[in-house]
Structure 1
């Protein structure tokens, strides 16, 4: 088994209205529960908006903090799930299920060991 990161790429902008978001969250919860039942779920979490981020850069032996990312993007990392899957095909299957549940792009990436 190998660990995979399933990254949820959210569009920049306001959160959807509750009547739109609630069915999405229910569908995500269903996929999350299926992952747990299959024994592949390791950890999952949602992130605050990119404006809450602090970027730390090393320069000349010092660490310089700056607010948020520098580049403007149409999408950002909004959440993630870490799974322990048999292979890439299995990870892609779980990522596809998450994409259907969220309606958002999901990046599937293996961890390097």
Structure 2
């Protein structure tokens, strides 16, 4: 199973402690172990662009869409045997202590699938 792991900042959480929060160790361990496929940091929301298309016109605004103190600081793509394994890996990430980790399983898109069948599969109807 593949999971997208969003690494989220949280200003209200415990403070960052360099001696305790060694991201390089987590990256090395999960990469050598084969569960981390890729990942990286993201620049702060002040560097973001939000893109929308309305009535055929492309609209671009500075910053994120949501107004929040928390923001996605990075991501990792995991390949795990189960959701339990993904949770265990996420719990070892330093940001789980002074931020939060959001895990989302991949949901493959089959563009060749007939639309009615896709709707039945996605909604269970």
Q: TM-score, normalised by structure 1?
A: 0.81
2:19 maps to which residue?
23
Q: Does 1:94 align with 2:93?
A: no
Q: Secondary structure at the match of 1:75?
A: coil
Higher RCO by CA contacts (8 Å cutoff, separation 6 or greater): 1
2:44 maps to which residue?
49
Where does the alignment leave 5 or more consecutive residues of structure 2 unmatched?
109-125
Q: Give the ranges of 4+ consecutive aligned residues of structure 1 lying more than 6 Å apart after TM superposition.
A: none
| Cα-to-partner distance string for 1:35-83 (whole Å, 9 max, x where unaligned) | 1121111111101110110111010112111111243212000011111
State the distance in 2 between where 1:40 and 1:85 align.
6
More strand by share: 1
1:80 maps to which residue?
75
Q: TM-score, normalised by structure 2?
A: 0.74
Tell me the C-alpha RMSD between the 2 structures.
1.8
State the distance in 2 between where 1:71 and 1:41 align.
28
Contact 2:37 2:79 in 1 (8 A): yes
